[in-house]
Amino acid sequence: MSKKIHVSTTVNGESVEFLCEARQSLLEVLRENLSLTGAKEGCNNGNCGACTVMLNGVPVNSCIVLAVEVEGAAIETVEGLACHGHLHPIQKCFLEGAALQCGVCTPGFLVTAKALLDKNPNPSEHDIRFNLANNLCRCTGYDKIVKAVQAAAAELQTR
């Protein structure tokens, strides 16, 4: 066991401190040290996007970020989407549009879709597909996911 390093960061708006080994990924620490199991380990090499979280406002694959790199950073995970027990419109539209089957990829899609809509409230279908290119789903065939993001964009614009 190598020496542990102290890291101070912000997760979903709350200050968090943890101890980790330099070789631990951010995903590993989120899941195992901080019990935030929303982000999933799929490929564990940056291809599938199931581990997507926001790091300082942009989506990244947390499996290929070292936890020690997030000292002083702001992280948002899928757990931060719902507010006071109310699902975020993106989550609601995924549910209503049946944009998931097994659900393993869903947290990554939700976080990436949120990042997209934060930046571009009215994305075209091409924008959605382009920005979700790092999120793989082997169940749905993507169409329902794209439609759910479009529905969420429409709902967010009426607010």
Partner 1 sequence: MKAFDYAAPTSVADALKLMEPPHTAALSGGTDLINRMKDYVSSPERVVYLKDIDALESIESSSKGVSIGAGATLAALLEHGEIKKTYPSLWKAAYEVATPQIRNMATVGGNLLQRPRCWYYRAGNGLLALKDGKSLVREGDNRFHAIFMTDGDALFVNPSSLAVPLIALGAKATILGPKGERTVPVAELYRVPKGSQERELTVQHGEILTKVVVPATHAKNASYEARHKQAHDWPLALASVALEMDGQKVGSARVVLGAVAPVPLRSEAAEKAIEGKALNHESATAAGDAAVKDAKPLSMNAYKVQLTKVAVKRALLAAVGDRYWEEG
Smallest gap from Cβ 42 to partner 1, in A, equals: 13
Residue 58 in the binding site for partner 1 (CB under 8 A): yes
Q: How far is CA 148 from the centre of its chain?
A: 16
Query: Which residue of 27, 29, 61, 93 would you call a contact of partner 1, by CB under 8 A?
Result: 61
Query: Which residue of 38, 42, 59, 123 would you call a contact of partner 1, by CB under 8 A?
Result: 59
Smallest gap from Cβ 50 to partner 1, in A, equals: 11
| Sheet with 14-20: strands ordered across | 14-20, 5-11, 74-76, 52-55, 58-61
**The pair of three-digit structure tokens given for residue 110, joined into one six-digit string:** 């939700």
Residue 45 in the binding site for partner 1 (CB under 8 A): yes
Smallest gap from Cβ 151 to partner 1, in A, equals: 21
Integer Cα distance of 152 and 117 in angstroms:
9
Integer Cα distance of 27 and 42 in angstroms:
11
Binding mask 92-121 for partner 1 (x = CB under 8 A): --------------------x---------
What is each CA distance from 87 to 80, 92, 96, in whole angstroms?
10, 6, 12
93 vs 132 by CB, closer to partner 1: 132
Helices and strands per DSSP (H, E), number in the chain? 5, 5
Give the binding site for partner 1 (CB under 8 A): 1-2, 5, 21-23, 25, 44-47, 49, 52, 55, 58-61, 64-66, 68-69, 71, 112, 129-131, 133-134
